[in-house]
């Protein structure tokens, strides 16, 4: 289960790419073949656009820290920002986190969601 979060601040994708220092990406490791291997695999990956996005929109760093503080197993920024997501062990955990985050920042967007093919 995931929590999607956004500080409701526009991010300029062209500006993010202008600030990107290294445009040469290392090859990705092989993808796991079993479901249990996905979270450890995802933890090894990065979003190269996150550092420049954080430089432009400091709220992204705050948002990521807030999601992590709610017990997310993994927190990442999506695309060029400013949406971030946290992976939670269960739908109940994600819903509780989204509710707590909304109480902390009622003017920001938080939503607990299930991925396609998620088990009930």
Q: Which residue in 37, 111, 117 sits closest to 78, CA to CA?
A: 111
Q: Quick check: helix, strand or coil at residue 98?
A: helix
Mind listing the pLDDT tens digit for each residue in 46-104?
899 999 999 999 999 999 999 999 999 999 999 998 999 999 999 999 999 999 999 99
CATH number, domain 2-21+31-113: 3.30.70.890
Q: Which residue in 60, 62, 81 sits closest to 13, CA to CA?
A: 81
Domain locations along the chain:
2-21+31-113
pTM of the model: 0.88
Q: Quick check: helix, strand or coil at residue 106?
A: coil
Q: Residue length, the chain? A: 120
Residue 88 burial (CB < 10 Å; 0-12/13-18/19+)? buried
Mind listing the pLDDT tens digit for each residue in 26-50?
788 888 887 778 888 888 888 999 9
């Amino acid at each position: 289960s995931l929590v999607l979060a956004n500080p409701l601040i526009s991010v300029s994708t062209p500006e993010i790419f202008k600030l990107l220092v290294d445009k040469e990406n290392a090859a990705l490791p092989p993808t796991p073949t079993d479901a249990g291997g996905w979270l450890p695999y995802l933890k090894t990956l990065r979003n190269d656009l996150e550092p420049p996005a954080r430089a432009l929109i400091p709220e992204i760093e705050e948002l990521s820290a807030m999601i992590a503080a709610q017990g997310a197993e993994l927190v990442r920024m999506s695309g060029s920002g400013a949406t971030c997501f946290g992976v939670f062990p269960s739908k109940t955990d994600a819903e509780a986190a989204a509710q707590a985050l909304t109480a902390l920042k009622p003017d920001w967007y938080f939503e607990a969601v299930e991925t396609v093919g998620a088990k009930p």
